[in-house]
Chain A
Amino acid sequence: MRKAAWAFTLVATALVMAPVVAPRGWDDFPLSTYPMFSRGDLGSVADLDHVVVRFSDGTSAPAPPSTFGTPEVMVAMKVISGAIARGEAEALCERAAEAKETATATGKSGGRALFVEVVTSRFDARRYFVAEAMRAPLERKVHARCAVPGAAR
């Protein structure tokens, strides 16, 4: 038992520790450098890819992660970023517009969902939390805009 046990422990520990020499940005599963939050040069201004639902009452709301088939916000973000990077924002937009999450969403004053937009917004995180009025992005690029099915009724 001892030789096999020793070998397993040594190999497993070496595998788990090996990523400490991996290059920046490397990640895998179940072995990892656990790179989340390790960056020290993030700064306060950064771009975010996200999806916005526009309502008939003039308000808007984010499309929640479940729209993209996941409860995880980070997975949703990657799905959106991936679609934009591959030039598939239109297809993602259609998918979000047809999602039941969008169909059942309502604006702050009860408005119906009219449009979905796939966007990249540049935010200043420091400014964002000073006041509600400061939450507007510094810049916004709309990659795709599509109507919610049945919204014209």
Chain B
Amino acid sequence: MSLRGWLTEEVPPERLDRVRLLVGAYALFYLVARLRYFADLSKHGASDFAPVGVVRLLASPLPGTVTTAIAALAIALGVAFLAGWKRKVVAPGFFLAVLWVTTYRSSFGKILHSENLLVLHLAVLAAAALLPADEAPGARGRTAGWALRTMSILTVATYAVAGIAKLRFGGGAWLSGAALGEWLSWDALRKIELGSVHSPLAARLASSPGLLRALAIATLFVELGAPVALTSPRAARLWVLAAWLFHASVLVTMAIGFFYPLTFVAFASFFRLERLRAWPLQRQPER
């Protein structure tokens, strides 16, 4: 298969619809579950404001009423996105709204990295909604294939970048497991002292050099090896399993939950979801 054919492979449109539903449902649930923290950030002082990304457009924080309105708009757009309404307007709108509320929330001193991939996937779904769907026979299937492939490419790219950062900034200490051991101990310590949930396994693991080294190498294997997932469906399944195990081990040992990959939604683009016959929702026509 040529590179062009690979990127715009014709796939059943239902596959993209199901991925859209999964990603949309996850994003909507996430917004609703964290509405309190997305809606009103007035508890943060103006001096905490350190804008990142698109929020650099602002010189000072927005009033709580405005951020609440934007968060509510994001939820409304999420409902419309899930329902499949006016996709050419709603999908980009939902992407922009989620981009804004997550970026704004990360603009008070600490960037939360668990939301990056979700935002990137919504960007692809927004672009897919804008692309011509029926310019030629089979074009819609190619648009679906392109969107899913691009989501998968961005997924593996984020993991690869994380792996490269560990090698660049951690180097030998990361390969030996020493850096991981220090991070496990320190992360658990600060969580205890800052009144948060920590993993009781962290300290035990941190004192097991052999296990640390194995886990450090496995982490780099998952992150740097991520592009392998693009080579075949079988490789994708194996990598997704490895990546999920990586996140599960992070949850167990560090009490850090990256729920987008842990729920498998982040990896949905790798799978032939149209094969799930018991899927409760039918493909919805464009409205």
Contacts and interface: CB of A to CB of B under 8 A. Distances in A.
Interface string B27-67: 00000001001000111110110101100000000000000
A17 to B, nearest CB: 5
Contacts of B192: 62
B135 interface: yes
A75 B109 contact: yes
Contact of B43 (A68, A72, A74): A68
B275 interface: no
A97 to B, nearest CB: 14
Nearest to B135: A1
A33 B165 CA distance: 6
Interface stretch (B74-82, B99-107, B237-245, B262-270): B99-107
A16 B157 contact: yes
B38 to A, nearest CB: 11
Contact of B150 (A8, A30, A36, A76): A8
Interface of A: 1-2, 4-6, 8-9, 12-13, 16-17, 19-20, 24, 27-44, 46, 48, 50, 61-65, 68-79, 81-83, 86, 88, 91, 121, 123, 125-126, 128-129
A9 B158 CA distance: 14
A40 B174 contact: yes
B7 A6 contact: yes
B86 interface: no
B119 interface: yes
B161 A20 contact: yes
B248 interface: no
- A-B pairs, top 5 by smallest CB distance, nearest first, are A69-B43, A40-B173, A40-B170, A78-B109, A62-B195
Contact of A88 (B47, B172, B178, B185): B47
Interface in B173-199: 173-174, 178-180, 182-183, 185-196
Given A2-B4, A50-B194, 4 more contacts: A37-B166, A42-B186, A46-B186, A125-B206
A29 B108 CA distance: 12
Contact of B185 (A30, A44, A69): A44
25 contacts: A1-B143, A2-B8, A4-B131, A12-B150, A13-B157, A16-B161, A24-B168, A28-B53, A28-B111, A30-B115, A31-B53, A40-B169, A40-B171, A40-B173, A40-B178, A40-B179, A46-B186, A50-B193, A70-B37, A70-B43, A74-B110, A79-B108, A91-B45, A129-B206, A129-B207
A38 B52 contact: no
B89 interface: no
B127 interface: yes
B132 A71 contact: no
Contact of A12 (B4, B106, B123, B143): B123
A61 B172 contact: no
B164 interface: yes
A152 B232 CA distance: 69
Nearest to A43: B182
A1 B52 contact: no
B157 A82 contact: no
B146 A17 contact: no
B160 A17 contact: yes
A65 B195 contact: yes
Interface string B129-159: 0011001000100110010011001100110
B48 A82 contact: yes
Nearest to A67: B195
